[in-house]
Amino acid sequence: MTEMVYGSMPVRVTEPVLPRWWRTIDKWSLTAVLILFGIGILLGLAASVPLASRNGLDPFHYVQRQAFFGGLAIVTMLGVSMLPPEMVRRIGILGFVLSLIALMFLPLLGTDFGKGAVRWYSLGFASFQPSEFLKPGFIIVTAWLMAASQDINGPPGKVISLGLAVLVVFFLAIQPDFGQSMLVIFGWCVVYFIAGASMTVITAILGAIGAVGFVLYGTSEHLARRIDGYLSAEVDPRSQLGYATNAIQEGGFLGVGVGEGQVKWTLPDAHTDFIIAVAAEEYGLILVLCILALYGCVVVRSMFRLMKERDPFVRLAGAGLACIFGVQAMINMGVAVRLLPAKGMTLPFVSYGGSSVIAAGLTVGMLLALTRSRPQGRMEDILFRRGGR
């Protein structure tokens, strides 16, 4: 009777958050990341014990810390992956602003931990590296600006984002951290290329990078030393690259056996920058190829899912995040096999580190959120909505 008088009220049936998340998430990429984290713990059991022994700590001190920070990273990744693109954009913009402020104050308040580059804040119980959190935030801001520039009467997003890229690279070069600088430039170029690149601008940027690199080579002893070491025909067997190269050669196809590797006792950064050398020595080429396949799975599957996406921001941000995630892994492994100059860059989810693994969790969490399956709507509806603004 009530319905006859007042009419019926349609009932919205909403799917619970967790079932909807599980139905729409890229399960292959999620599984690949979890396996990478498991491999990182496995390698940490071997690589971090010598470091703990040298520092007079419990043998599994660094493994326990890696598991703790890795657990935080996984929780962060899963939590962020449940967010809609609008929330991802807000978190990315806020994270970029806070990280940029922290980066600006590094020369005054930061520390180098005896490594010659002021990249960290010492918190006593841990350290914080702003550049690790800056990268995903920068990609989100760049994608937001470039997507907005495609609207009628939109802002000059490409010019503004290029200015932000120059500002970020400037503060990174002060540390100095040329590896992260190149990763930021690469991320901007990826987003710019997908948004509709001008070959004139790309040529000018590449020329500017070459000119700046030439000047820095003549003025920065830090950069010149690494470039000279990379170009040298001979590798010092007592250097980190020498130890890593020998370990990879000793590992062969099947490795020397679990716990039998020696490089972890000689390499000071065996648990971080050169963790792939430990994997190659003890488990051989098989594990290295598995690691490569897992990173490739995340990047390639993300790109294929983004090809179906019609939201410009989601498409640009997702592609940028996937590329910097994959390229960081490529740079780390390329340095270990001497295909690239030494960069001081960790292997995401595998290397030891608090800031790096949590930032990797944030990056992949944003990527999983943006690549979730969602209704796209008809293309003519999207074009009509834009034209009506």
Burial 352-382 (b: 16+ CB within 10 A, else e): bbbbbbbbbbbbbbbbbbbbbeeeeeeeeee
Within 10 Å of residue 72's Cβ, how many Cβ atoms? 14
Q: For 287-316, how does the pLDDT look when each residue is reduced to its tens digit (9 = 90+)?
A: 999 999 999 999 999 999 999 888 999 999
Give the model's pLDDT for residue 358: 94
- 120 phi/psi in degrees, rounded to 5: -130, 155
Q: Are 83 and 101 in contact (CB under 8 A)?
A: no
- What is this structure's pTM? 0.88
Of 105, 115, 33, 118, the C-alpha closest to 76 is: 33
Q: Are 335 and 273 contacting, i.e. CB atoms less than 8 angstroms apart? A: yes
Helices 27-54 and 275-306: crossing angle in degrees, nearest 10, is: 160
Q: Is the dihedral of CA 199, 204, 210, 216 positive or negative?
A: negative
pLDDT under 50 in the chain at which residues? 1-11, 13, 378-384, 389
What's the CA gap between 55 and 129, in Å, rounded?
Answer: 22
The confidence score (pLDDT) of residue 2 equals 46
- Report pLDDT for 6: 46
Beta bridge partners of 128: 121
pLDDT of residue 176: 81
Q: Which amino acid is at 350?
A: V
The closest of 222, 270, 225, 272 to 243, measured between CA atoms, is 270
pLDDT score, position 317:
96
Residue 188 contacts residue 144 (beta carbons within 8 Å): no
Question: Rounded to whole angstroms, how far apart are CA atoms 17 and 32?
Answer: 23
